[in-house]
Amino acid sequence: MKDKKLRNVWKEIKKNKESYLLILPYFTLFLIFIVIPVLFGAILSFTNYNIIQTPKFIGWSNYKRLFLEDDIFLIAIQNTFKFALITGPISYFACLLFAWLINELSPKVRAITTLLYYAPALSSAIFFIWTYIFSGDVYGFLNGILINLGIIKEPIYWLQDPNINLYVLMIIQLWMSLGTSFLAFIAGFQTIDRSLYEAGAIDGIRNRWQELWYITLPSMKPQLIFGAIMQVTTSFAVADISANLIGFPSPLYSAHTIVLHMWDYGSIRYEMGYASAIAVILFFITVSINQWVRRILRSD
Amino acid sequence: MKERKVNRSFWGNLVISVVLTVVAVFMALPLVYSIMNAFKPLDELFLFPPRLFVRRPTLKNFSDLFYLMGTSFVPFSRYLFNSIFISFFGTLGHVLIASMAAYPLAKHKFPGSKFLFNLVIFSLMFSGYVTNIPRFIIMAKLRLLDSYLSLILPYIGATLGLFLMKQFMEQIPDSYIESARIDGANEFKIWWYVIMPNVKPAWLTLILFSFREIWNDTYTPSLYIHNEALKPFSLGLTYIQQGGFVRAGAGAAAAVLMLIPSIIIFIITQSNVVETMKSAGIKG
């Protein structure tokens, strides 16, 4: 019985051999650069490995050290969550709101507005231009303007002051967060069957809010789920803007994040086992939050 | 398309226009500011109070970028070449190899196809940073560190592109494939002659996303590339910026050069990208 089933599967595989050939190059890369690294990283996280000597198995030590001894890691977790819990939802709803508003514009205006809104996400490497705006001396654009208007007397150290620099980063992150989800939402709004609106108008829908809530959003649920995954994943992965705008390490670790902590141990100290444990934690945080958000969106 | 009849109040429209404009200014201001700075002479860069618009535009910042940095350790043009090289081959490889894999996943049922695609969706749920440490070790073992390949190969296997391509291909009518098969075409030929011409919006989207990703990435090259001569423009840019205000003008000029290619590609592909994203949903 089982034998027959196996033989059937084998027959299926042979029948589809061209399909396997077509997917082979892609999935080879996928295996080498995604699947193996995730598994390999999970194994490494239980070892002590400095690249030169062979890894030594040390059980849960890395994890214990992370949570019980590494105060800076706890700061990193705190900052990352603060950052993600603020920028994640705001950017998600901003993507949705602006996509919705843009959808009502005429096609030409819509194309220009989309370009303007998407441009920062499109050219994310130039976020460093914010250093000229938030520069801590009087030549900084914002300080100059505020001093000139008499709102402040002394220049504010936007990026160095540990009390505010994380919030400054959030603004910059939000600036470049109308990305892939934003485009997906714009597309989502365009797929909605127009006749639904006409039917809705007959059924007593009176304004655009009701239209949005009762007709539009339920019909673009797949886009909403896709967008949520994109935003959650990026909002927990903040690192580049912190390291490049504030510097590494940031004053009092005020803008230290999980990814930066991992980078510190992996790329500077070459403590690969310890860095892998940080990666594993980041993996579980983002995957579980993604699953949770997905469940909420699916059920609603 | 006729206007819908549901209430669109005048005030509602006004508020929306104001909001959209304010946000547009917020989004555009830093870009406009750096474009302006790129054309400012030195004395205008350090005015108090600062001025947004340039008064006496000059191209000196651009020539500084090429000539000053031309005599430095690694010429500026080298960074630019590296970026163009990896962006071109990374994008080309990604579009070809991802769509080649997307076709059977979208159109054939074979053992493992569902599992593999779910694996791809699952990998969208964590960021690439998670894989960086082991990837670095794998790169080292494969002797790929300090090579263009270390910057090209991971992007070819990017997951977002495969996902979008597969979703888009699902709408192609099966009859196209059937008739090609009756004419005796093999799967490879069907992919190239039947599928690819029909998914132009999707591969234009993949070009945009892949190019954007490679062109702007500073993190990956900072991990894998230590040879100055192989570093991309995005990294060179951060060095210019770290030069501080001495190089503020050149930095702004570099930012403009960085900005232009992505913007042009987006302008060309925009309507196709939106078309592709229509099928980008994840069901449940």
Residue B47 lies in a domain: no
Residue B156 lies in a domain: yes
Residue B252 lies in a domain: yes
Model confidence pLDDT, tens digit, residues B135-172: 999 999 999 999 999 999 999 999 999 999 999 999 99
Helices of type H across A31-164: 36-44, 61-64, 71-103, 107-122, 130-133, 141-148
Angle of helix A17-30 relative to helix B76-107, nearest 10 degrees, comes to: 140
Owning domain of residue B265: 67-277
**What local confidence, expressed as pLDDT, does residue B68 receive?**
63
The residue of B126, B223, B241, B263 whose CB has the most chain A CBs within 10 angstroms, and thus the best one to mutate to test that interface, is B126
A84 vs B: CB within 8 A: no
Residue B7 lies in a domain: no
**Cβ pair B234, B215 in contact under 8 A:** yes
- Mean pLDDT across chain B: 89
- Average pLDDT for B95-123: 95
| DSSP letter (8 states) at residue B228 | G
Q: Identify which has the larger pLDDT, B284 or A297.
A: A297
User: Domain locations in chain A?
Assistant: 71-299
Helix (H, G, I), strand (E, B) or coil at A161: coil
pLDDT over threshold 60, residue B4: no
CB contact under 8 A, B129 and A37: no
A109 vs B: CB within 8 A: no
Q: How far is residue A22's CA from residue B194's CA, in Å, rounded to a whole number?
A: 15
Residue B73 lies in a domain: yes
pLDDT over threshold 80, residue B2: no
Please measure the distance between the N-terminal and C-terminal CA atoms of chain A and give it in whole angstroms: 43
pLDDT band at B90 (very low <50, low <70, confident <90, very high): very high
**What local confidence, expressed as pLDDT, does residue A276 receive?**
96
**What local confidence, expressed as pLDDT, does residue A204 receive?**
83
pLDDT band at B134 (very low <50, low <70, confident <90, very high): very high
The residue of A129, A176, A244, A299 whose CB has the most chain B CBs within 10 angstroms, and thus the best one to mutate to test that interface, is A129
Domain CATH for B79: 1.10.3720.10
**What local confidence, expressed as pLDDT, does residue A279 receive?**
96
Q: How far is residue A249's CA from residue A268's CA, in Å, rounded to a whole number?
A: 12
CB contact under 8 A, A25 and B255: no
Residue B72 lies in a domain: yes
CB contact under 8 A, B28 and A19: no
B180 vs A: CB within 8 A: no
Q: Which tokens hold the place of A244?
A: 């490049």
CB contact under 8 A, B216 and A191: no
Low-confidence residues of chain A, pLDDT below 70? 1-2, 300
Q: What is the ipTM of this complex?
A: 0.91
CATH fold, domain A71-299, is MetI-like fold (1.10.3720)
Model confidence pLDDT, tens digit, residues B12-38: 888 888 999 999 999 999 999 889 989
Q: How far is residue A183's CA from residue A169's CA, in Å, rounded to a whole number?
A: 23
In chain B, % of residues over pLDDT 90: 62
pLDDT over threshold 60, residue B222: yes
- Mean pLDDT across chain A: 91
Q: What is the tally of structural domains in chain B?
A: 1
Model confidence pLDDT, tens digit, residues B189-216: 999 999 999 999 999 999 999 999 999 9
